[in-house]
A and B are shown apart, each in its own frame.
Chain A
Amino acid sequence: MTHFNITKTYKAIVIGGSAGSFQVISKILSSLPKDFDIPIMMCLHRLRHVRNGFVEALNIKSNIKIEEPYDKETIKRGKIYLAPANYHLCVELGNTFALSTEELINNSRPSIDMMLQTAAYAYRDKLVGILLSGANKDGALGMKKIHDRGGLTLVQDPKECLIDTMPSSAIKITEIDHVLSVNRIIDFLLELHKTCKIA
């Protein structure tokens, strides 16, 4: 197994996914150790008017409890957060979340672009962005923003995606640091975990 030679520490990880990403994200979540410490924020396209059920379904597989944050909740280490139905999840300066009912973006609320862009603004180069399978281009601009602010960008290998529009759109408009299979994304996260623990 080749290493990723991670030389920096990161403050947060943002993950975006849509059609075809549920299995992938479940697999990733089930592979993370209990003491995985870097906060993870996930924005997955979901039914706008179904408030319950989604986070519960993800929690079945996850070693770390996933929560849908409240407005102005403090972002904590060792936590995994999921954007709630019908709200945009944004990162505010000062390490808190802010929720918003602003207009749909790319026909989505929550929008991945919105989460990625606000996170990139707050965390600058201390952010890892991961974009998974999906059928629209939401997230591409967000990945560009992460790259422009010096953060690290990863996408699921389009060849492996159930629907590859999402990662492919990101690849088209910005530089992606790693194009990886799900297994390699997991390897990356485990290596990141080790690096950050030492640091």
Chain B
Amino acid sequence: MQEIEITQLRTLVDIVKKNYDYDFSNYAMSSFRRRIQRIIELYKFSSIEALCERLSTGDEKFFHDFLSEITVNVTEMFRDPSFWRELRDNVIPNILLNNKNISIWHAGCSSGEEVFSMAILLKEMDLLDRARIVATDIDTAILEKAGQGAYSLKNMELNQKNYIRFQGNFSLDKYYKEENNKAVMDKSLVEGVQFKAHNLVEGASFSKFDLILCRNVMIYFNQTLQNQVLKMFHESLYKYSYLVVGSKESLIWCEIANKFIVVSNEEKIYKKVKD
């Protein structure tokens, strides 16, 4: 297949912007190109032009599917177990030194594994009913999945391994039941969680939090967009509260780096120290 050219991608981005008001112009090029390539193959379009034509029709239903394919939703429970240990043993106790309650934002929560991990962690610390959790994603289809909390048994093997390395109090199967070949999570864990659609690209700050997790989301953005989103996170954090990014992301180069200090370089935990 012909390699997709940057100019063709730009045309597509313009069409999407014009018809659906989503702006992908600052997504990282290499992964964005692969996602477009993937959609072309999946839907058997003859070329990127054919895909552009389809997008030009303003077909909202097709765009909905397009949006779920363009985003990378791969996730795990307790991904990077050492991070979750750090959260349990240091970060959360620290937040509770000064607060009775704790507010958490999962930005780019995908199918919800990260949210369930958090809920389990809090439950095991007996803090779940003192937490206000908001989980957002651009992809409404994946948010629906997150709300259902039904995962493939194959993925559960990995989740279970991560939970063991996290050194949770029990066994992960305490928190789900097997139904129709799926692991169905205990819904009471996320009863209080607000799942909602939110686009980090234009979405403004909507509340303030003690802890924001945005892991493996900004790797799909270019540096311009990363800086913009980090500013919005800065606005959405109370002073002396925490921001966490993925294990291979770094705030070092970002414009607002001087408003944060590094709490754990290994686990990419940062603390806002300046307004």
Q: Taking beta carbons and an 8 Å cutoff, which residues of A are in contact with B?
A: 49, 51, 68-73, 84, 87, 90-93, 98-103, 118, 121
Provide 22 A-B residue pairs closer than 8 Å at the C-beta atoms, listed in order of the A residue: A49-B162, A71-B219, A71-B248, A71-B249, A72-B28, A72-B253, A84-B247, A87-B248, A90-B31, A92-B28, A92-B29, A92-B30, A98-B28, A99-B219, A100-B30, A100-B31, A100-B72, A101-B74, A101-B216, A101-B219, A103-B72, A118-B30
Pairwise interchain contact B74-A103, C-beta atoms closer than 8 A = yes
Known: A51-B80, A72-B28, A101-B216. 9 other contacts (CB 8 A): A51-B247, A71-B246, A72-B253, A90-B30, A90-B31, A92-B30, A93-B30, A101-B72, A101-B219
CA distance A102 to B223 in the complex (A): 19
4 smallest beta-carbon distances between A and B, as pairs: A71-B219, A70-B250, A90-B30, A101-B74
* Set of chain A residues within 8 Å of B220, measured between Cβ atoms: 100
Would you give the shortest CB distance from B69 to chain A, in whole angstroms? Answer: 12
* Set of chain B residues within 8 Å of A101, measured between Cβ atoms: 72, 74-75, 216, 219
Would you give the shortest CB distance from B108 to chain A, in whole angstroms? Answer: 11
* Set of chain A residues within 8 Å of B34, measured between Cβ atoms: 102
Would you give the shortest CB distance from B97 to chain A, in whole angstroms? Answer: 29
CA distance A101 to B161 in the complex (A): 19
User: Chain B 49-60, CB within 8 Å of chain A: the 1/0 string?
Assistant: 000000000000
Pairwise interchain contact A102-B247, C-beta atoms closer than 8 A = no
Given the known A-B contacts A98-B219, A102-B74, are A70 and B30 also in contact in the complex, defined by CB atoms under 8 Å?
Answer: no
* Set of chain B residues within 8 Å of A121, measured between Cβ atoms: 3, 30
Would you give the shortest CB distance from A129 to chain B, in whole angstroms? Answer: 17
CA distance A73 to B226 in the complex (A): 13
* Chain B residues bordering chain A, tally (CB within 8 A): 30
- The A interface is mostly helix, strand or loop, or mixed, namely loop
Would you give the shortest CB distance from B268 to chain A, in whole angstroms? Answer: 10
Pairwise interchain contact B226-A102, C-beta atoms closer than 8 A = no
CA distance A87 to B31 in the complex (A): 12
Pairwise interchain contact A99-B30, C-beta atoms closer than 8 A = no
Pairwise interchain contact A71-B29, C-beta atoms closer than 8 A = no
User: Chain B 128-155, CB within 8 Å of chain A: the 1/0 string?
Assistant: 0000000000000000000000000000
CA distance A69 to B250 in the complex (A): 10
Would you give the shortest CB distance from A125 to chain B, in whole angstroms? Answer: 15
* Set of chain B residues within 8 Å of A91, measured between Cβ atoms: 30
Pairwise interchain contact B249-A70, C-beta atoms closer than 8 A = yes
Q: Which of B136-192 contact A (CB under 8 A)?
A: 158, 161-162, 165
CA distance A7 to B162 in the complex (A): 50
Pairwise interchain contact B74-A68, C-beta atoms closer than 8 A = no
Pairwise interchain contact B248-A99, C-beta atoms closer than 8 A = yes
CA distance A87 to B34 in the complex (A): 15
Would you give the shortest CB distance from B217 to chain A, in whole angstroms? Answer: 10
* Set of chain A residues within 8 Å of B250, measured between Cβ atoms: 70-71, 73
Q: Which of B200-256 contact A (CB under 8 A)?
A: 216, 218-220, 222-223, 226, 246-250, 252-253
CA distance A103 to B222 in the complex (A): 20
* Set of chain A residues within 8 Å of B30, measured between Cβ atoms: 90-93, 98, 100, 118, 121
* Set of chain B residues within 8 Å of A71, measured between Cβ atoms: 218-219, 246, 248-250
B29, B158, B247: the one contacting A93 at CB < 8 Å is B29
Pairwise interchain contact B161-A49, C-beta atoms closer than 8 A = yes
Give the residue name and chain of the A residue nearest to B75 (CB): A101
CA distance A101 to B252 in the complex (A): 21
* Set of chain A residues within 8 Å of B162, measured between Cβ atoms: 49
CA distance A84 to B42 in the complex (A): 29
Pairwise interchain contact A70-B29, C-beta atoms closer than 8 A = no
* Set of chain B residues within 8 Å of A100, measured between Cβ atoms: 30-31, 72, 219-220
Name, among B158, B248, B252, the residue most crowded by chain A CB atoms within 10 Å (CB to CB): B248
Would you give the shortest CB distance from B156 to chain A, in whole angstroms? Answer: 15
* Set of chain A residues within 8 Å of B218, measured between Cβ atoms: 71
